[in-house]
Amino acid sequence: MEQYQETFKRYEKKYLVGEKKYKILIAKLQDRLCIDRYGKITVSNIYFDTPNYLLIRNSLGKPVYKEKLRLRSYKTPSIGDDVFIELKKKYKGIVYKRREKLELSMAEDYLYRHKPLARTSQILREIDWFLMFYQNVIPSMFISYQRVAMYGFDNPFLRVTFDSNILWRKEELDIKKGVWGNPLLYEGQRLMEIKTPESMPLWLSRLLSEMEIYPVSFSKYGKAYMESGNFQYKNIIGGIKYA
- Each residue of 56-76: pLDDT tens digit? 999 999 899 999 999 999 999
Contact status, residue 139 vs residue 112, Cβ threshold 8 Å:
yes
Asked if the structure places residue 1 within a domain, the reply is no
What are residue 148's DSSP bridge partners? 40, 162
Could you tell me where the beta strands, DSSP code E, fall in the chain?
7-17, 33-49, 65-73, 82-91, 94-103, 138-152, 159-169, 182-183, 190-196, 235-237, 240-242
Distance CA 120, CA 70 (A): 18
Q: What is the pTM of this model?
A: 0.90
Asked if the structure places residue 2 within a domain, the reply is no
Which residues, at least 6 apart from 178, have a Cβ–Cβ distance to it below 8 Å?
A: 76
pLDDT > 90: percent of the chain = 84
CATH number of the domain encompassing residue 24: 3.20.100.30
Q: How many helices (H) and strands (E) does the chain have?
A: 6, 11
Q: What pLDDT, on the 0 to 100 scale, is given for residue 95?
A: 94
Looking at the predicted structure, is the pLDDT value of residue 178 above 70?
A: yes
Tens of pLDDT, residues 86-131: 999 999 989 999 999 999 999 999 999 999 999 999 999 999 999 9
List C-alpha distances in Å: 135 to 52, 79, 155, 163, 219: 12, 27, 41, 32, 24
Q: Which domain holds residue 17?
A: 7-242
How many distinct structural domains can be found in the chain?
1
